[in-house]
Amino acid sequence: MPPSKVSSTLHFGFGAGSRMCAGHLIATRLCYALLVRFILSFEVIASETNPPNTDYVEYNSIKTALVAIPRDFGVRLGLRDENWLEKKMKEEEPKFYS
């Protein structure tokens, strides 16, 4: 049996069919661009007092769950390169035309 084709839309947050939001493609691409910019701008640093648990036995917070639910942990965000971020923010400032 041939593999079934999986739809690229795995949720209906923008509606479906003829009632679907006309701007869903733009919104999806903007979310993707925002995520990429966030990852490029900041680094995720594990907390020293409450680090993520990477032990495969103690990882799951609820032992009887069917899926892995990680224990709570702390992180902080640090700038990767402040000069780069300032440059990019200035490039993206809105330009007004008269």
**What confidence score (pLDDT) does residue 68 get?**
84
**What confidence score (pLDDT) does residue 49 get?**
92
Number of helices (H), then strands (E), in the chain: 2, 2
| pTM exceeds 0.85, yes or no | no
**What confidence score (pLDDT) does residue 42 get?**
93
**What confidence score (pLDDT) does residue 35 get?**
93
Q: CA dist 56 to 53, 61, 68, Å? A: 8, 11, 10
CA distance 14 to 22: 9
Token pair listed for 38: 């966030």
Q: Over the chain (98 residues), what is each successive 10-residue block's mean pLDDT?
A: 64 81 89 91 92 84 85 91 88 70
